[in-house]
């Protein structure tokens, strides 16, 4: 199985035009096998762009195609409104790759979703997206580095390390059920615990790889959840071991404040929770391969 998306997921790309990133990545997702059924653009409703019918609104796209997921690829100033438009149209899973959305917009949008649209899950913003190998790919992750067949689920705050985790396992012939890039912004729509809980419930996911990074306390909260609720093997890597206090790593959420949010604190918490903690991404892959072999 997979989590959140599969071969039945139908996708509308918000922000579709002949020269947009939405079209570029939407076509790559479609070529992978994802059921991209529509696009939206207020000024291009009624057009067909590279075989994708375009609607003025998400509501129109959902009514015409039954789309269940949305791929938001619009500029930062419009991203919050695009997310809420998708939720109000009945979309149940939203992937937003947009970078640079103001933190207060993220917080307001997240709270609106929780209060008014509890049935809608947001992935991102500022994330690479999600791929269930061989079934569905929404976002910017290359399908070439993923391997279908399980049994490992991957969740990562870092976009680049999402790709490396996929590559490290695929090179060793270890497939993935689903790989989720949650992004590293201060207010993620989906967090480590959400993914760990879903992987725990998925019968085809036998082990989980978790990639964290400095800043915030998401990894510490995940460690507590692992200790109390996860019975499957978890291999972790936390990026930023050598980062000095006050240094940010790529994401607005990845900043160390005093002794809080350091890689060492996170690694200690995860190790105490029973997770296998690697010192670098390659070692994480090696340790996971060893675990998979032991699982048979």
Long-range contacts of residues 16-21, Cβ cutoff 8 Å, at least 24 apart: 16/40, 16/41, 16/44, 16/49, 16/52, 16/54, 17/41, 17/44, 17/49, 18/49, 20/73, 21/73
Cα distances (angstroms) measured from residue 27 to each of 17, 37, 122, 259, 262? 12, 11, 21, 44, 39
- Nearest-angstrom CA–CA distance, 158 and 145: 16
Q: Which two structure tokens, joined as six digits, stand for 235?
A: 């291999």
- Nearest-angstrom CA–CA distance, 194 and 122: 11
Q: Contact 216/91 with Cβ under 8 angstroms?
A: no
Unique residue bearing structure tokens 């978790």: 210
Unique residue bearing structure tokens 């939206």: 40
Strand partners, 248: 255
* Residues designated as active site: 251
* Residue 228: alpha-carbon gap to chain centroid: 23
N- to C-terminal Cα distance for the chain? 18
Q: Which two structure tokens, joined as six digits, stand for 115?
A: 């209060």
Q: Quote the longest CA-to-CA distance of the chain.
A: 56
Do the strands 35-40 and 52-55 form a parallel or antiparallel pair, or are they unpaired?
parallel
């Amino acid at each position: 199985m997979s989590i959140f998306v599969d071969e039945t997921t139908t996708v509308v790309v918000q922000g579709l035009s002949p020269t947009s990133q939405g079209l570029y990545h939407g076509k790559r997702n479609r070529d992978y096998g994802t059921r991209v059924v529509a696009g939206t653009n207020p000024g291009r409703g009624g057009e067909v762009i590279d075989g994708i019918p375009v609607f003025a609104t998400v509501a129109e796209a959902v009514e015409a195609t039954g789309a269940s997921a949305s791929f938001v690829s619009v500029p930062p100033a419009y991203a919050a409104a695009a997310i809420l438009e998708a939720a109000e149209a009945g979309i149940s899973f939203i992937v937003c790759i947009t970078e640079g959305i103001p933190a207060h917009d993220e917080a307001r949008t997240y709270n609106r979703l929780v209060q008014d649209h509890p049935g809608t899950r947001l992935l991102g913003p500022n994330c690479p997206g999600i791929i269930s190998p061989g079934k569905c790919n929404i976002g910017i992750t290359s399908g070439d580095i993923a391997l279908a067949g399980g049994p490992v689920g991957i969740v990562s705050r870092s976009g680049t390390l999402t790709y490396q985790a996929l590559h490290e396992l695929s090179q060793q012939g270890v497939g993935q059920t689903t790989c989720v890039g949650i992004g590293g912004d201060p207010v993620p729509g989906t967090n480590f615990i959400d993914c760990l809980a879903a992987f725990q419930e998925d019968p085809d996911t036998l082990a989980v790889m978790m990639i964290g990074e400095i800043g915030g306390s998401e990894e510490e909260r995940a460690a507590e959840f692992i200790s109390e609720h996860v019975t499957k093997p978890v291999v972790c890597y936390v990026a930023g071991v050598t980062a000095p206090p006050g240094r940010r790593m790529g994401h607005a959420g990845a900043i160390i404040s005093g002794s809080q949010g350091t890689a060492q604190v996170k690694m200690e918490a995860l190790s105490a929770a029973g997770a296998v903690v690697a010192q670098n991404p390659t070692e994480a892959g090696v340790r996971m391969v060893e675990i998979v072999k032991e699982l048979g």
